[in-house]
């Protein structure tokens, strides 16, 4: 198995050599290797992979703290994971170390293996390595902000410094004029091919004209080129300016990018775009950004709606106009009835999160809402929380039930 994380065995001076080390934790070393671990030396603690500390024995507290300090210089603010076992005062040492780290303002967790055959705990170790991998990916990401956040996002306009310090991505400002120039430069034959592919997959095309379809295809191709040229891992676009200045929409372009693996958010909403990235990295599923449009507290249901959705998420779709403006092309998708998780990041410093689980029970086609509509019935969480302590006007939907994993990550990493 290819190594996904490194682990450093930390023993006291009373552990005499490799033979005694192997006697104490040799079976644990093999168990960790079986779930993707690689034993590394203390001098390699700063290497570019998730690194855990295997506490071999008591009397190691000072050594572990010194190694943590060296690791923190290489990966600042990374949570510390300590692996403990039942013998040789391993657990007491881990408890003392984590208590001190938390006093110093660092987060972390003890992963306690009751035995080398403790499958549940070994799965937790494996998940923790993936969690650190998600953190590392976020901290290496470049997110394009094309234009400023839309004016109505009064609770969703964090400073770029906040995004970087709390969640990790670097926000790359992109002038909207750059995108407009790229749109004008898209070759006609390329736009026609993209428009034809969009129409071919639809069950019907209601309001959009051929020129509308060509316009949104140009936006899509221009954004794809922008992603490559600016080396972006994700982006969000002040898309309503395209409606006002060019009489077209970004709905197709953002859906197409997300389906291609580049998270694309609407309205310059950088907070929800980070939420989309996080959901994709944690679950491997394609996420959807939408508005909670209606809710029923007693029934624990809410309607989500938006004029765009990645086409891979729907059973079928129609091409409609953009709801608010009646212009361009919106996507009216029919989502399958399936389990889902809802996520919203928020707070003045993006330090809060709302997570709920439920299921899609119905798709809608109401003419007074954005085009793609899904009725969600919650099984974990309360829609009343959205009324009492909302974090913003968008939420992220991701297929499957992932609340426990997402909460665990947030509690440790943020």
Q: What is the pLDDT of residues 207-231, one digit of tens each?
A: 999 999 999 999 999 999 999 999 9
Say what the pLDDT of residue 245 is: 85
Tokens linked to 158: 């964090």
Tokens linked to 135: 């953190």
Q: Which residue has the higher pLDDT, 383 or 152?
A: 383
The Cα 279–Cα 275 span in angstroms is 6
Mean pLDDT of the 329-358 span: 97
Say what the pLDDT of residue 3 is: 57
Tokens linked to 395: 């939420």
Instruction: Please give the CATH superfamily to which domain 142-413 belongs.
Output: L-fucose Isomerase; Chain A, domain 2 (3.40.275.10)
pLDDT at 57 over 70: yes
Q: What is the pLDDT of residues 69-113, one digit of tens each?
A: 999 999 999 999 999 999 999 999 999 999 999 999 999 999 999
When the candidates are 3.40.50.11140, 3.40.50.300, 3.40.50.10940, 3.20.10.10, the CATH number that belongs to 5-138 is 3.40.50.10940
Note the Cα 337 to chain centre separation in Å: 23
What does the mean pLDDT of the chain come to? 95
Taking a C-beta distance cutoff of 8 angstroms, is the pair 144, 172 a contact? yes
Q: 130: closest CA among 274, 284, 5, 263? A: 5
Say what the pLDDT of residue 2 is: 56
pTM surpassing 0.85?
yes
pLDDT at 17 over 80: no
The Cα 96–Cα 378 span in angstroms is 40
Radius of gyration of the chain, Cα coordinates, nearest whole angstrom: 24
Mean pLDDT of the 296-317 span: 97
Q: Which residues pair with 353 in a beta bridge?
A: 345
Domain segments of the chain: what residues? 5-138, 142-413
Asked whether the CA dihedral 354, 356, 359, 361 is positive or negative, the reply is: negative
DSSP structure string for 17-46: HHHHHHHHHHHHHHHHHHTTEEE--GGGTT
């Amino acid at each position: 198995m290819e190594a996904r994380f490194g682990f450093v065995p930390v023993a006291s001076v009373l552990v005499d050599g490799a033979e005694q080390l192997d006697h104490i934790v040799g079976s644990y070393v093999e168990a960790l290797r079986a779930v993707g671990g690689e034993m590394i030396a203390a001098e390699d603690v700063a290497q570019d992979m998730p690194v855990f500390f295997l506490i071999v024995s008591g009397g190691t507290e000072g050594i572990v703290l010194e190694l943590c300090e060296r690791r923190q210089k290489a990966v600042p603010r990374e949570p510390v994971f300590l692996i403990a076992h039942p013998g040789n005062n391993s657990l007491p040492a881990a408890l003392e170390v984590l208590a001190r780290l938390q006093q110093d303002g660092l987060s972390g967790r003890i992963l306690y293996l009751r035995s080398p055959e403790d499958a549940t705990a070994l799965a937790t170790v494996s998940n923790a390595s993936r969690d650190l991998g998600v953190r590392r990916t976020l901290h290496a990401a470049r997110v394009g902000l094309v234009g400023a956040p839309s004016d109505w996002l009064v609770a969703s306009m964090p400073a770029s410094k906040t995004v970087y310090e709390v969640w990790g991505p670097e926000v790359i400002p992109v002038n909207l004029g750059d995108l407009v120039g790229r749109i004008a430069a898209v070759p006609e034959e390329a736009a026609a091919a993209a428009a034809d592919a969009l129409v071919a997959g639809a069950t019907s095309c209601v309001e959009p004209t051929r020129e509308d379809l060509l316009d949104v295809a140009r936006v899509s191709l221009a954004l794809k080129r922008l992603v490559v040229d600016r080396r972006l891992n994700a982006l969000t676009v002040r898309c309503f300016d395209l409606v006002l200045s060019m009489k077209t929409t970004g709905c197709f372009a953002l859906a197409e990018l997300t389906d291609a693996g580049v998270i694309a958010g609407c309205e310059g909403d950088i907070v929800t775009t980070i939420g989309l990235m996080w959901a994709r990295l944690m679950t491997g599923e394609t996420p959807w950004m939408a508005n909670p449009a209606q809710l029923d507290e007693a029934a624990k249901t809410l309607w989500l709606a938006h004029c765009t959705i990645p086409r891979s998420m729907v059973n079928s779709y129609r091409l409609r106009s953009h709801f608010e403006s009646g212009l361009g092309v919106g996507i009216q998708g029919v989502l399958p009835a399936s389990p889902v998780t809802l996520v919203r990041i928020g707070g003045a410093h993006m330090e809060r999160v709302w997570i709920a689980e439920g299921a899609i029970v119905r798709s809608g086609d109401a003419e007074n809402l954005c085009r793609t509509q899904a009725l969600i019935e919650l099984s974990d969480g309360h829609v009343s929380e959205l009324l009492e302590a909302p974090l913003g006007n968008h939420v992220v939907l991701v297929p499957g039930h992932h609340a426990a994993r997402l909460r665990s990550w947030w509690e440790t990493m943020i």
